[in-house]
Each structure stands twice: as C-alpha cells, then as structure tokens.
Amino acid sequence: MIKIFFFIVLLYIQLSIGEIYIHKSIMHNKPKTFMRRLWGDSHLIHHEEVEADMGIKDDFLQEGMYFSLFTIIAISVLVCIVIYADSKLINIKLNTTQISIISLSLGLFYYFAWNILHIRFHRIYPSKKLEKNTLFNFLLKNHSYHHLQKGLKKGNYNIIFIGGDHLLNTYRTCIDNKKFCKQYYTKY
C-alpha cells in the first residue's frame, strides 16, 4: 500500500513539473525554434487576446483557447513512459493494459479539465456554480497572474496539476511589470 502511495505522489509531482515544462518551454516557445515550428503561435496569440480583466477579445483564435485531440495522444504517450519508469523504480507490477488505461485516463482528464476550466477563466461560458468553488477561484487567480505578469518574472505555468510552480520557484502571488515596461515601452 505504501508503494502505491509513493507511486501516486511521484506521478503527481512529475505531471505538475511536466505541465510547467510543456507550458513554459513549448507553448511559450521562442521565435524561429523547432518548438515554435512544431507547436505554432496559437498560445502566444491567445496571450495577446486576453484583456486585463481576464476576458478575451470577441474574435479570439479558437486554437489558443482549447487543447486539441492531439493533446490527449501526446500527453497519454508521455505519461505512459513516465508510469512505466515509475512502476519499475518503485517496483509496482503494472501490465501494459493497466499502464495504457491510466495514461489515457490522465490524458482525457487533462484535456477535459483544461478545456472546461480555461474557457471559464477567460469568461467564456461563465459558471455561477464554479465561481463559488474555492479550488476554481484559486486556479483562476493563479491563471490570472500567469497572464498579467510579463517578462522574465512570468510564472504560474501550472493550470491543472498545481504544485510544480511552488517547487520550481515560478509561483507568483503579485504582479510587478516595472522592469518589463521600462524595457519595452518608452516615455512620451
């Protein structure tokens, strides 16, 4: 039983840190890189479309708002590799079918959680019921700081699997764009 507990904790930490890596290094990729060509600009365009109140422009790019079905496959394959390695490390006997089911389930969970929550964070299809939920409000505030903080201090890359930002010191609780504004804007 203790092995299963450690397996779940380890997997969650890896999912949380993996979410940061994907969000920071792939979705916020640099121009003219392999990742930019592979992933595209949809997430960066999404950031340009978000208003200061977290609302989004009327003619927003759909691709930047939602994860595609390809995401389920990609996340599931990555999680499958991680689960296989973790099961060997902790010595938990999981067969290929079990690993596949867990991986696909996590991929589906992430797909639906992102697509349901993200549109509500940006005031598309608001939900009065969700707005009363403490976890939803924490995730909304966390995601708001991600959009509002600019430049090198950008953080709060976790959207679903929270915790990794705390571990990697990318969690932000306030917004300070003074250096960013000095660097990118001049006084009139």
**Is the model's pTM score more than 0.85?**
yes
Lowest mean pLDDT segment, chosen from 60-74, 91-105, 125-139: 60-74
Mean pLDDT of 5-23: 95
Q: Residue 181: pLDDT band by 50, 70, 90 thresholds?
A: low
Taking CA 168 as the corner, what is the angle to CA 167 and CA 169, rounded to the nearest 5 degrees?
95
Nearest to 118 by CA among 48, 46, 66: 66
pLDDT tops 90 at residue 31 = no
Cα 66 versus chain centre, distance: 11
Nearest to 130 by CA among 43, 139, 27, 3: 139
At position 18, the amino acid (one-letter code) is: G
* Confidence at residue 136, expressed as pLDDT on a 0 to 100 scale: 95
* Confidence at residue 180, expressed as pLDDT on a 0 to 100 scale: 63
Q: What percent of the chain has pLDDT over 70?
A: 95
Mean pLDDT of 118-125: 91
pLDDT, tens digit, for every residue of 100-112? 999 999 999 999 9
- Mean pLDDT, all residues of the chain: 89
CA-derived radius of gyration, the chain: 18
pLDDT tops 90 at residue 146 = yes
* Confidence at residue 88, expressed as pLDDT on a 0 to 100 scale: 95
With b for 16 or more beta-carbon neighbours within 10 A and e for fewer, the 96-119 pattern comes to eeebeebbbebbeebbeebeebbb
pLDDT, tens digit, for every residue of 37-78? 777 888 888 999 999 889 998 888 888 888 888 888 988 999
